[in-house]
Amino acid sequence: MKVLHIVTAFPRHEEDVITPWLGRLLVGLRDAGAAVSVLAPAYRGGGAASWCGIPVRRFRYAPAFLETLTHDETVPDRLRSQPAYAALLPGYFLGGTVSAAIAAAEADAPDIVHVHWPVPHAWFGAVARTVSGGRTALVSSFYSVEIRWIERQLPWAVPLLRWAIETSDALTAISTATADAVRRYSIRDVAVIPFSASLSAPAAATLAGDPHPGRAPAPPDALRILFVGRLVERKGVPILLEALRLVRQSAPASLTVVGDGPLRAHLERQAGDLGGAVDFRGRVTADELAALYAASDVFVLPAVVDAKGDTEGLGVVLLEALEFELPVIASRVGGIPDIIEDGTTGWLVPPADARSLARKILAVMDRPDEARRVARHGRVRSRERFGLTRVVDDLLDAYARAISDRRAGAMGDRTSESSRRPSGGSRRT
């Protein structure tokens, strides 16, 4: 099975840290026997033509010095902060269309075109399907942010969203909340197929032994809190800083913040009166991140719904924290409840509520035995529901059905029982 993934951003070199969850998925698909390739926009005129042995085709859309619409930040964030970048969209649309058509016209044309961010990439997939004579099946994956962006910022594009959904041969979403958003526009089945963790704990970190090997010794009453993510409004880091301030009124605690973004300077100023209790690490390597997971006591993702209506689509960093058997506290918002079941695999708190978050952090600190039990269960459940093998198997099943339906012509009637039946093998939660 030959699968072409059309993406907005893809690692520009082997050490590039962007979209690690996508890279791990593609390696998993390749190892399962799929012939995987990638179509992605160029960055400043270039980008590696292969990554971990996976072929990458980069399409040009502007002079090299202008090709920064993607990769540095999400396209919606780029357009919101610098509207002039909208002038690059026609070139992006044209460059992607031509490259998709060329890929489909080659002798080794893909059996599947899997588009991420279906608006506008479903168009690229539809072009590839047409050029292939209708043999290539189109699978579209939704992440929620693109739906909210269109609904709130680009209402004129809602018909394009509907078209992207209806023209696809199969639909997937990374969370139950995202699948529900897609279903507002169609009665078609949406398979909930999340991503797996992009980072694995060392083999020594077994359930039977110390869940945090290599953790540096610390005073028994000190709590080391970890946050990992892009420093943007929807991550809720200001709420975490305020919660830390409240926690420190009762007990010693520190916070390590991994990640970068437009709010970093503001957050560093906000943390200025916390007496050095906050360590902003910026971007780190995979090995450094693994060491930080192993050296922390609790992981917090205080996501909020931002002023643009955006929030966490799933929360892949939660899967990473659970992989390291780290107690997790997160907001009850977006796709997070798909991963965190309150009191069972972690703890959920109301979004944008620093006092509730502080109380929960202190409760975890005061009940270490319960925290360890929940963290162990969280790791087991995470591997069962979000392990790479299961995600790959679910996706391959969706591919096989899309190919079968496409080649049998069964997708012509979108209201048929075939197009509405539940997705065998794919998760519906």
Whether the CA torsion 247, 248, 253, 256 is positive or negative: it is positive
What is the percent of the chain with per-residue pLDDT over 90, rounded to a whole number?
A: 73
Q: Worst-scoring range by mean pLDDT, 57-61, 245-249, 306-310?
A: 306-310
pLDDT value of residue 429: 40
Q: Say whether pLDDT at 423 is over 80.
A: no
What was the pLDDT predicted at 202? Answer: 62
Predicted confidence at residue 309, as pLDDT, reads 80
| Per-residue pLDDT at 400 | 94
Average pLDDT value for residue range 93-98: 97
At residue 408, the pLDDT reads 78
pTM above 0.75, yes or no: yes
DSSP 8-state code for residue 259: B
Residue 385's Cβ-count burial label (10 Å; 0-12, 13-18, 19+) is middle
What is the pLDDT at residue 264?
96
When comparing pLDDT for 233 and 214, which is higher? 233
The pLDDT of 317-322, averaged and rounded, is: 94
Contact (Cβ atoms closer than 8 angstroms) between residue 270 and residue 238:
yes
What is the average pLDDT across 392-404? Answer: 95
Q: Read out DSSP for 97-161?
A: HHHHHHHHHSTT--SEEEEESHHHHHHHHHHHHHHTTT-SEEEEEE-SHHHHHHHHH-GGGHHHH
Neighbours of 422 (CB within 10 A): 9
Residues 56, 62, 67, 71, CA torsion sign: negative
Domains of the chain by range and CATH? 2-196+390-420 (3.40.50.2000), 223-386 (3.40.50.2000)
**pLDDT exceeds 90 at position 220:** no
What's the mean per-residue pLDDT of the chain?
A: 89
